[in-house]
Amino acid sequence: MTRPCITKHFIARSKKRAGFNKKATRKFYNKAIICGLRIESFESRPLFFKYLKLITRPRCYIIVYNRYILICSNNNDIAITLLNLPKEYYSLVNSIIKMKKEDINNGVAKHPNNKRRC
């Protein structure tokens, strides 16, 4: 596995907001890339989708994973910063994750990486 590109700012934010050390931050980022939800997953939820669009910057994309929002650069997958998911969206994100897992188990959707569990 290639080493993820992570900025010092991302490492500092993950330490402050999630309590991760440098090695745990790299593992978290790798898992978020594989199992995280992209902004397109929330188009059917207009309030949360609008919130994500507001915090997205040009040439960046968002991954929502494990009650955190990761902002990454578009051009070469560099992790820029980590934000806490607002508490009012916890249940929404959990329901979408549950629906995705059910789709994978029912064979409707394909698991992003068959060797790993999300």
Note the pLDDT tens digit of each residue in 52-103. 999 988 889 999 998 999 999 887 678 999 999 999 999 988 888 888 777 7
Please report the DSSP string for 102-113 in residue order: HHHHTTSS--S-
Res. 26: pLDDT tops 80:
yes
Q: What local confidence, expressed as pLDDT, does residue 102 receive? A: 77
Every domain of the chain and the residues it spans: 5-105
